[in-house]
Amino acid sequence: MDELIAPPGLKGLIVADTTIGSVRGDEGFFHYRDHDAVEIARHQTFEAAASLLIDGTLPSAAEESSMRAQLATNRMLSAELIDALRAIVAVTNNPLPALRAAISLVVDDTATIDLTPEERRERAIRVVGATPSVLAAIYRIAANKPVLDADPSLSHAADYVRMVTGTAASPTLARAVETYLLLTADHGFNASTFTARVITSTGAGVGSAFAGAIGALSGPLHGGAPSRVLDMINAIGSPQNTEDWARDELKAGRKLMGFGHAVYRADDPRSLLLRETAVGLGGELVDQAIEIEQRMLAFLAEWRPEATIVTNVEFYAAVVMHLAGISQDMFTPTFTTSRVVGWAAHVLEQAANNKIMRPKARYVGPAVKVP
């Protein structure tokens, strides 16, 4: 059989079939199952979206209530687990490596091939529910603040903000963060999702798949950009400095975080809704961000007229999370509390109809010395 050579980074290469969703970058559109994801973010709760992605259909009121109860139950952490988190933080207080280490304590790692579909789902829901509580506990332990128990009466998003910040968010701020979580629950075969599916394809446990996905998400070219966006906004200061600052960064060979996307060649629909959300919150930072965005896009259109460079989701995500009182070093972890839903859906789909992923590499080194 002739060998097939994939493009660099596997860009555009179809490697699997999925019913979970897809991204149509040329159109500026993405969807969860058979629903427009932006409309889901506008009108549904995080719990409803989790049910849609994991179980396949938009839930009834009773089913949404059931998902809310399942997530709330799994947000509750035992005293023993919190003690273990203290030991982990003593070694590393970086939230994502700490979460990666904690996953094996959250869920057992029984091979997926040895589990029933119901058992796989139970473990996936366990990770989705526990992740915000684990991250909040890691953050507060590292900051020498008391760890807060989950509040089952709150929504998943509102409880996360409360557990991190120590203060109940206003309904407006809680909904703003929930909108961000809804927009980022899944997004095609991105690096972390693909990692989760590759690991699952080996028959490995749910915990291993999530741990690997967390490692992929920690990279600044994937999930690590929101905190760097806030650094950029602070470094620019007055919007009038945007063009000079950007020119210096590009000449130095550095990337401009918050702009450009591997898939979108039209507006990133997540960024559009988050900009709308930020405008609804209002304030000096929002005004500053909007003007910087306008100036940056105009500058980039002149700098690289042959390219289509759009504002990506991280730009306004940084603004929304900052206004909600979430610490900058918790921006990417907050992304994780959302993306675990997509990982869960993909892990379950891969395990349900599995074939191990085993691509080849093309050897381009020195000629082999044959005896």
State the catalytic residues.
261, 314
User: CA 41: distance to chain centroid?
Assistant: 15
The Cα 54–Cα 267 span in angstroms is 27
Q: Do 212 and 297 form a contact (C-beta atoms < 8 A)?
A: no
Both tokens of residue 112?
Answer: 């997926």
Can you point out the beta strands (E) in the chain? 21-24, 29-32, 35-36
Backbone angles phi, psi at 24, to 5 degrees: -110, 85
Structure letter (DSSP) for residue 115: S
Integer angstrom CA distances of residue 123 from 40, 111, 152, 351 = 25, 11, 19, 13
C-beta separation of 184 from 192 below 8 A: no
**113 torsion bin: left (phi>0), alpha (psi -120 to 50), beta (else):** alpha
- CA 212 vs CA 23, 69, 115, 187, 291: distances in Å: 22, 27, 20, 17, 38
* 142 Cβ contact list (under 8 Å, min separation 6): 89, 93, 95
